[in-house]
């Protein structure tokens, strides 16, 4: 018997509080906090009748806001964004704070226990102690979106930023990359685009060969000369704005441009290396490297699969060392992965 049923009166109160959810169990929230946007989803907490999840999942609300990576926007803005999506998701669900049973905050920029603790502290002030709070790197939600809530295997995220994150069944985890553009995430959308912009500057000033990237990207940005790229770049250094140039790089590579092709090949090597570093450290494939593991593929850079397929090349590259790699493109979004994690964590804590 779960805690909430130990006292019939509390259960009655909760039934009232859950209001519009139509569920006696309150709600759970899953948050995918990224560098580009933050998504929060709200589900009823269904008592686990079996190990299987209902299909389709009974989504109560989904809301979206801006960046919640404290490294990009600062702590105050990150906190406000997270509080805002929670408040809006509860309001849209016809619910309120008192109905919350568990929240999984899977947030980009959580790189160290102090990052985790800071976010926990923010929400410990808001939610009473019986509300389960889980703070993870956004990689956890992305992985769970492909494994339907099981924290096992490896996830490769390559959107504006990139990171490889692996989890073992016995609770170990490891990551590679995900340190942002200054610290060399060259496989990311930002990294690809920054290399392309650099190639244009180098062609212009005589340090590098001419490339189709020049016309393609100047046209995309409405600029008339490579000199103007410097002003454009530093006028607003948001990572997402720069990363948005990836499709132009892919188009140039598909049109046979060698410089664009080399940039994408380098990106593939970087992304594959991130995954193999994690797999090796965790021993995910056993000592013979032949074991099988799921690799969840997430993010804009890994989505296109016509023409120059970055994701396909990454898988080819990884499978040379680890033939048991099983790529999975998630069917649900990372925020739902976060909610599934919250659901599983809460279920496990009740069974303890």
Q: Does 295 bind a copy of itself (CB under 8 A)?
A: no
Q: Does 198 bind a copy of itself (CB under 8 A)?
A: yes
How far apart CA 168 and CA 278 sit, in angstroms, is 11
Q: Does 143 bind a copy of itself (CB under 8 A)?
A: no
Residues whose CB is less than 8 angstroms from the CB of residue 169 and which lie 6 or more positions away in sequence, other chains included = 152
Q: Does 76 bind a copy of itself (CB under 8 A)?
A: no
Q: Does 81 bind a copy of itself (CB under 8 A)?
A: no
The two three-digit tokens of residue 14, written as one number: 């909760």
Return the C-alpha torsion angle 172, 176, 181, 183, nearest 10. Answer: 100
- Count of C-beta atoms within a 10 Å radius of residue 330: 19
Q: Does 51 bind a copy of itself (CB under 8 A)?
A: no
Here's the x/- map for a copy of itself, 200-219, by CB under 8 A: it reads as -xx--xxx------------
Q: Which three-class secondary structure string do you get for 253-303?
A: HHCCCHHHHHHHHHHHHHHHHHHHHHHHHHCCCCCCCCCCEEEEEECHHHC
Q: Does 223 bind a copy of itself (CB under 8 A)?
A: no
Contact predicate 45/101, CB 8 Å:
yes
Report which secondary-structure segment, H or E, holds 99: none
Out of 197, 245, 248, 335, the only residue in the binding site for a copy of itself (CB under 8 A) is 197
Write out the binding residues for a copy of itself, residues 88-117 only, by CB under 8 A. 111-112, 114-115
Out of 65, 126, 277, 328, the only residue in the binding site for a copy of itself (CB under 8 A) is 277
User: Considering beta carbons, is residue 101 or 175 the nearer one to a copy of itself?
Assistant: 175
User: Considering beta carbons, is residue 51 or 234 the nearer one to a copy of itself?
Assistant: 234
User: Where do contacts with a copy of itself occur on this chain (CB under 8 A)?
Assistant: 71-72, 111-112, 114-115, 174-177, 179-184, 194-195, 197-198, 201-202, 205-207, 225, 227-231, 233-234, 237, 242, 273-274, 277-278, 280-281
């Amino acid at each position: 018997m779960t805690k909430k049923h130990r006292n019939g009166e509390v259960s009655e109160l909760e039934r009232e509080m859950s209001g519009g959810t139509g569920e006696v169990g309150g709600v759970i929230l899953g948050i995918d906090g990224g560098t580009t946007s933050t998504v929060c989803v709200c589900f009823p907490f269904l008592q686990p009748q079996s190990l299987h999840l209902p299909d389709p999942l009974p989504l109560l609300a989904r809301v979206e806001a801006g960046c919640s990576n404290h490294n990009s926007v600062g702590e105050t803005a990150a906190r406000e964004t997270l509080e805002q999506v929670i408040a809006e998701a509860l309001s849209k669900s016809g619910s309120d704070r008192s109905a919350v049973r568990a929240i999984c905050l899977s947030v980009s920029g959580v790189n160290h226990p102090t990052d985790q603790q800071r976010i926990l502290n923010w929400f410990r002030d808001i939610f009473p102690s019986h509300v389960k709070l889980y703070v993870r790197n956004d990689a956890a939600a992305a992985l769970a979106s492909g494994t339907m809530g099981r924290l096992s295997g490896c996830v490769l995220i390559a959107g504006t930023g990139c990171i490889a994150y692996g989890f073992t069944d016995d609770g170990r985890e490891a990551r590679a990359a995900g340190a942002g553009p200054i610290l060399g995430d060259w496989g990311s959308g930002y990294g690809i685009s920054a290399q392309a912009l650099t190639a244009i500057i180098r062609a212009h000033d005589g340090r590098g060969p001419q490339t189709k990237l020049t016309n393609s990207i100047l046209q995309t940005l409405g600029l008339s000369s490579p000199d103007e790229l410097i002003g454009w770049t530093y006028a607003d250094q948001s990572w997402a704005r720069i990363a948005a140039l990836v499709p132009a790089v892919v188009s140039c590579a598909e049109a046979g441009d060698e410089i664009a092709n080399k940039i994408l090949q380098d990106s593939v090597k970087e992304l594959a290396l991130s995954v193999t570093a994690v797999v090796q450290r965790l021993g995910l494939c056993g000592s013979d490297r032949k074991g099988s593991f799921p690799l969840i593929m997430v993010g804009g850079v890994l989505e296109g699969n016509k023409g120059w397929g970055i994701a396909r090349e990454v898988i080819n590259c990884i499978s040379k060392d680890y033939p048991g790699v099983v790529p999975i493109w998630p069917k649900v979004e990372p925020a739902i992965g976060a909610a599934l994690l919250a659901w599983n964590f809460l279920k496990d804590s009740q069974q303890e």
